[in-house]
Chains A and B, each alone.
Chain A
Amino acid sequence: GENVEQHPSTLSVQEGDSAVIKCTYSDSASNYFPWYKQELGKGPQLIIDIRSNVGEKKDQRIAVTLNKTAKHFSLHITETQPEDSAVYFCAASSPGGSQGNLIFGKGTKLSVKP
């Protein structure tokens, strides 16, 4: 089955710097890659997602890149702000049956220091 590895587990940056979180997946059939942000004591919220027919997607300060050949995808946050501090999860999903479920990485705790 699918396996998703996420690095780093913790990341600390200064306000205004960029942050990059990387994930690798094992199932070459996976075609949907969402990123979730989880604030303390709350449920995860989708911040951006990408499908396998696209190499990069941007939404204001957030971007995701996908390298299907290498089976890895990354989240890029530019001009970080204190409110970006949270735990970020990547996930991968392959189509159909039980493989259609999302498999999550273990999360990255991002701290943005003012």
Chain B
Amino acid sequence: DGGITQSPKYLFRKEGQNVTLSCEQNLNHDAMYWYRQDPGQGLRLIYYSQIVNDFQKGDIAEGYSVSREKKESFPLTVTSAQKNPTAFYLCASSGRQGGSEQFFGPGTRLTVL
């Protein structure tokens, strides 16, 4: 059963702590993406990766970090430098970047207390 998974679905953290969100895909996609979604806003791109061991900053990368050591995995770390980390985080993948359908995971809702 192919797809993209994110874990956990809900995450609570204290202010000042780093937290890592998991994203795994078994679609054999080269490109992976992280988006942040806030109420009333569209999806805003945090980071993207076109290939293993390479990634690029999106529009709102400050306070976030990523790694792409394996094709299947693209974890996102929300650091203490992110001033307003409470949000819904979505991971996506596509066969190639640009002009290609992106498949989304179910999302992780992060709440920082």
The count of chain B contact residues (Cβ–Cβ below 8 Å) is 25
The count of chain A contact residues (Cβ–Cβ below 8 Å) is 30
Chain A residues with CB under 8 Å of chain B are 4, 6, 9, 31-32, 34, 36, 41-46, 49, 51, 89, 93-102, 104-107
Chain B residues with CB under 8 Å of chain A are 6, 33, 40-45, 48, 56, 58, 90, 92, 97-107, 109
What are 16 A-B contacts with C-beta separation under 8 Å? A6-B42, A32-B100, A41-B107, A42-B106, A42-B107, A43-B105, A43-B107, A44-B90, A95-B99, A98-B56, A100-B98, A101-B33, A101-B58, A102-B102, A105-B42, A107-B41
B40 touches A45 (CB 8 A): no
B101 touches A49 (CB 8 A): yes
